[in-house]
Every structure is written in C-alpha cells, then in structure tokens.
C-alpha cells in the first residue's frame, strides 16, 4: 500500500510505503529515483502490527520510479500508481505526488 498526506515541508508530499506483515524478510530496502537506488538509504521497519513501512517526503507534482529489495531480491509494488522500466531495465512502480 502507498499512503499520501501533506508533508510539514512546504511543497512536499509525505509518502508512506507499506508491505504487509505476510512478507517474511530480514531486510527490506525502499529504492528509487528519490534516493539514487541506494539499498542502504531507506530501510523499511516492521511495526507492532507486523507491517513493514518507510516514509519519505517527496516534492509535490512529480512522479518517481521505485521498488523494494527484499532479502536481496527485487520486488515491484503492485499497488503503485503506475509502472515503468527503471534505469536497470527492471519493472518499477511509479508513485505520483500530484
């Protein structure tokens, strides 16, 4: 799931990326154009409800390709706003912050 709310930062949208508790993993990274596809930059943490989450504030009015690296394996969010190939020629989700 992807949740969007106004960010306290002017001109930005707060985006929460969430994977369900049914995902069994030791490590999940959120990677995308907004963090240079860096596997270490944005890690999802597991909440008390078992769901995995990470939040980022992105400039409003943009669209950003992203995906998850779950235990070293690429995963596309099927609940993304749209889809496209990233610079590594892998199917990525696209989140819109309009």
Distances (CA, A) of 35 to 32, 40, 64: 6, 10, 10
- % of the chain residues with pLDDT over 90: 97
Average pLDDT, the chain: 97
Provide the pLDDT for residue 94: 98
Distances (CA, A) of 64 to 40, 47, 48, 94, 98: 18, 25, 29, 5, 11
Angle value at C-alpha 22, between 86 and 95, nearest 5 degrees? 30
Question: So what's the pLDDT on residue 69?
Answer: 98
For residue 10, pLDDT over 90 is answered with yes
Query: 48-57, 65-74, 83-92: which range is least confident on average?
Result: 83-92
Q: Which sequence spans correspond to the domains of the chain?
A: 2-96
> Does residue 97 have a pLDDT over 90?
yes
Per-residue pLDDT of 31-46, as tens digits, reads 999 999 999 999 999 9
pLDDT digits over 68-86, tens only?
A: 999 999 999 999 999 999 9
Instruction: Report the CATH number of the 2-96 domain.
Output: 2.60.40.10
């Amino acid at each position: 799931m992807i949740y969007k709310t106004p960010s306290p930062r002017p001109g930005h949208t707060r985006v929460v990326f969430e994977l369900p508790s049914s995902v069994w993993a030791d490590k999940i990274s959120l990677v995308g154009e907004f963090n240079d596809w860096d596997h270490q930059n944005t890690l999802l943490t597991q909440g008390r409800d078992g769901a995995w989450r990470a939040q980022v504030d992105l400039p409003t009015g943009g669209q950003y390709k992203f995906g998850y690296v779950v235990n070293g394996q690429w995963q596309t969010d099927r609940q993304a706003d749209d889809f496209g190939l990233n610079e590594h020629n892998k199917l990525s989700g696209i989140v819109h912050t309009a």
